[in-house]
Amino acid sequence: MSDHGNLTNPAPDAARLDRRRGASSIFDASRPGRRGVLLPPLDVPGADPEALFGALHRTEVEGEVEASEVDAVRHFTRLSQKNLSIDANLYPLGSCTMKHNPRINEEIARLAGFADVHPYTPGHLSQGALELMARLEAALIALTGFARVTLQPSAGANGELAGCLMIRAAHVKAGAPRKYVLVPDSAHGTNPASAHFAGYQVKELASTPRGTLDPAELEKMMTDEVAAVMITVPNTLGVFEENILEVTRIVHAKGGYVYLDGANFNAFVGKIRPADMGVDVMHMNLHKTFSTPHGGGGPGAGPVGVGAALVPFLPVPTIEPEGTGFRLDFDRPDSIGRMRTFYGNFGVLVRALTYILSYGQEIGEVAENAVLNANYLRKKLAPFYHLKYDAPSYHEVVFDDTLQAAKGVHNIDVAKRLMDYGFHPPTMSFPLIVHGALMIEPTESEPIEELDAFADAMIAIAREAEESPELVTSAPHVTPVGRVDEALLAREASKPGNFAPVLRAPVRRS
For every residue of 53-75, which 3-state class applies, written as one string? HHHHCCCCCCCCCCCCHHHHHHH
129-361 belongs to which CATH class? Answer: alpha beta
pLDDT of residue 75 exceeding 80: yes
Q: How many angstroms separate the CA atoms of 424 and 446, rounded?
A: 14
The letter for the amino acid at 324 is T
pLDDT of residue 234 exceeding 60: yes
Q: How many angstroms separate the CA atoms of 476 and 421, rounded?
A: 9
pLDDT (0 to 100) of residue 510: 34
Phi, psi of 294 (to 5 degrees): -105, 35
C-beta separation of 352 from 292 below 8 A: yes
Peptide bond just before 315 cis, omega within 30 deg = no
Which DSSP letter does residue 263 get? T
pLDDT in tens, 128-181: 999 999 999 999 999 999 999 999 998 899 999 999 999 999 999 999 999 999
pLDDT of residue 12 exceeding 60: no
pLDDT (0 to 100) of residue 500: 47
Q: What is the pTM of this model?
A: 0.86
Q: For the chain, which residues make up each domain, given as ranges?
A: 14-82, 129-361
DSSP track, 469-488: HHHHHT--SSSSS----HHH
Which stretches does DSSP call E strand in 290-364? 304-306, 318-322, 325-329
pLDDT of residue 504 exceeding 80: no
Comparing CA positions, the residue from 443, 445, 442, 444 lying closest to residue 457 is 442
Confidence band for 484, pLDDT divided at 50, 70 and 90: confident
C-beta separation of 260 from 354 below 8 A: no
pLDDT (0 to 100) of residue 88: 86
- What percent of the chain clears pLDDT 70, i.e. is strictly above it? 91
Q: How many angstroms separate the CA atoms of 393 and 408, rounded?
A: 28
pLDDT in tens, 24-44: 678 888 899 898 888 888 899
pLDDT of residue 505 exceeding 70: no
C-beta separation of 223 from 251 below 8 A: no
C-beta separation of 67 from 36 below 8 A: yes
Distance of CA 193 to the CA centre of its chain: 16
Cβ contacts of 169 within 8 Å, gap of 6 or more: 313, 334, 336
Comparing CA positions, the residue from 379, 382, 459, 371 lying closest to residue 421 is 459
How far is the CA of 399 from the CAs of 261, 276, 385, 392, in angstroms? 22, 31, 6, 13
